[in-house]
Amino acid sequence: MPADAGEEPRSSRVPGGSGQRCLSSEEFAADHNLTSRECEAFDLMLRGHDAKSISEALVISDNIAKAHIRSIYAKTGVPTRQELSVATEHLDR
């Protein structure tokens, strides 16, 4: 049976069929007021990168990478990488 024309595709909904649309990582970052550099670090964090690899990928110092990570935790309200992973598991990546 075809989906209604106004209905979103199932792939853009939160798992479990609640009907809520999944956010993209960009929307999640915007909702939490991340800066453009924090967004870049956030995207790398979602892919499992640590502070050292983030600093190398963004060509910034280790201390700046760690500052971005601390800021991301503060703005998203989660204290650890594991909790950030849980908080963002519903995102379309």
Domain boundaries, the chain: 23-87
Contact of 2 with 33, CB cutoff 8 Å: no
Q: What percent of the chain has pLDDT over 90?
A: 54
Residue for token pair 């690899």:
53
Residue 56 CB neighbours (<10 A): 13
Condensed to tens digits (0 to 9), the pLDDT of residues 10-44 reads 333 333 334 444 568 888 889 999 999 999 999 99
Residue 5 clears pLDDT 50, i.e. is over it = no
Q: Which residues are CB-neighbours of 10 under 8 A, at least 6 positions away?
A: 3, 17
State how far the Cα of 20 lies from the Cα of 6, in Å rounded to an integer: 14
Instruction: Record the pTM.
Output: 0.72
Pick the CATH number of 23-87 from 4.10.320.10, 1.10.10.10, 3.90.380.10, 3.30.70.360: 1.10.10.10
